[in-house]
Structure 1
């Protein structure tokens, strides 16, 4: 039930933030497909502007990063059978992302694009509502939650789809996929079982003692939930300007 998200949209946010309101006429930082340049460029921008936004480019600030609604449903024969909804949550820690590798982003946008990145920690916090069963125990409640990934590594990929508008080609992100592994994961759900403190404390302890097994069981459901959220973000940002305007020749 935990995020392994987050964040291909950061590539898009970072590329755009470099040029401010004059974009797309300013010189671009990197040539098509120059992976080393892109990694250095994105890391520098996140360090300098990670907590800022840019209204001119319709970009939200990275920290905290708002998530209006996210639903994770896990069922079938899985020992983790839940319906979990997060509403008006924040993702905290995106401004500390470190990119390691980049692939793709050449002149032919209709290919696979990939990013590898790391964070010291990422936290999703805010209101939640849950019902179902986790391993052998029933779970229910609504309140505030805090889910933290410790030292997560991510691989994010998508395939570019050319979209022609007014004679120019824009990129739409399709087939978005996100994979991650974390050194540790911490769960906290407040007000479980209608505020029964003893039951709630025991359940939170159980979740944290069995974090790895729970994470593996919910992996596909979580990936689907976060993929939908961030695929929409990427497509929206890349629809701002023609694809060629994001790079130098």
Structure 2
């Protein structure tokens, strides 16, 4: 049994296409055998290879769009519980850096239908239009405009649990849960037009944000991870809804 790895985990595969789904894998697309005793190592190579191939161009023959940048319509993060009591809404989101990921380890439990893998991203940048309102370190904060958020030396661990469903007599994978752990070593924030364009107040709060980036990130971490996990779950399901299991796990 040959495993055609889950190439759409980070891919914006929002193309519409009617069955039969005609596809062609690139010649340099790496695959693994499920019975390979070195399967975990093969998965590392395959995931990294897939991310590079999808990259900034996508794989048209697989109906996969580019992932660098990854385009997301909107992301909403609720208020934190400590330092950051801030509702954050982002639209027209572009996420840069995924294609540069280095896969540190990976493991597929085929019986439990659980895939886990850890990647390292040197620089992960989110560009978006923002709309925020609340407080940071008890200081009232509001604004809307352009934002750039950068995370450096980021470790991302994905845990994906699948289930099977039958449609038109065929078996398909469906993501039951998608969990993310995002652990950066440094963060930088920029928000334009805070406080209705008051540059002095904006510069003060941005300095506070960047001086205290770790405490602020930890406070919103669960919301950020949940928001991106929901995006990746939707993207992954979009891919698997098109291809029966028998086409992914080739005999």
**TM-score range normalised by the length of the shorter chain:** 0.7 to 0.9
Please, what is the CA RMSD of the aligned residues?
A: 2.5
Aligned match of 1:3: none
Aligned match of 1:4: none
Q: How many corresponding residue pairs?
A: 233
Aligned match of 1:65: 70
TM-score by length of 2: 0.84
Displacement of 1:32 in angstroms is 2.3
Displacement of 1:48 in angstroms is 4.3
Q: Which has the higher contact order (CA 8 A, sep 6+)?
A: 1
Aligned match of 2:113: 111
Displacement of 1:54 in angstroms is 2.9
2:43 to 30, 33, 38: 38
TM-score by length of 1: 0.85
Determine the C-alpha separation between the residues in 1 that align with 2:115 and 2:210: 35
Displacement of 1:170 in angstroms is 0.9
Q: Report SS of the residue matched to 1:87.
A: strand
Aligned match of 1:5: none
- Structure 2 unaligned segments of length 5 or more: list them: 1-5, 13-21
The answer (yes or no) to whether the contact 1:129–1:143 under 8 Å persists in 2 is: yes
Cα gap change, 1:247 to 1:28, in 2 (>3 Å): farther
Which stretch of structure 1 is more off in the superposition, 122-131 or 44-53?
A: 44-53
Displacement of 1:212 in angstroms is 0.5
Cα gap change, 1:80 to 1:30, in 2 (>3 Å): same
Cα gap change, 1:111 to 1:165, in 2 (>3 Å): same
Displacement of 1:10 in angstroms is 5.2
- Structure 1 unaligned segments of length 5 or more: list them: 1-7, 15-19
Cα gap change, 1:58 to 1:48, in 2 (>3 Å): closer
Deviations 1:139-167 (A, max 9, x none): 10000000011010011112101111222
Determine the C-alpha separation between the residues in 1 that align with 2:182 and 2:115: 17
Matches within 5 A, 1:1-249: 11=9, 13=11, 21-22=23-24, 29-32=31-34, 34-75=39-80, 77-104=81-108, 106=110, 108=111, 110-249=112-251
Q: Report SS of the residue matched to 1:205.
A: helix
Determine the C-alpha separation between the residues in 1 that align with 2:107 and 2:60: 29
Displacement of 1:135 in angstroms is 1.5
Cα gap change, 1:117 to 1:244, in 2 (>3 Å): farther
Determine the C-alpha separation between the residues in 1 that align with 2:7 and 2:205: 34
Cα gap change, 1:197 to 1:9, in 2 (>3 Å): farther
Displacement of 1:28 in angstroms is 7.2
Cα gap change, 1:150 to 1:13, in 2 (>3 Å): same
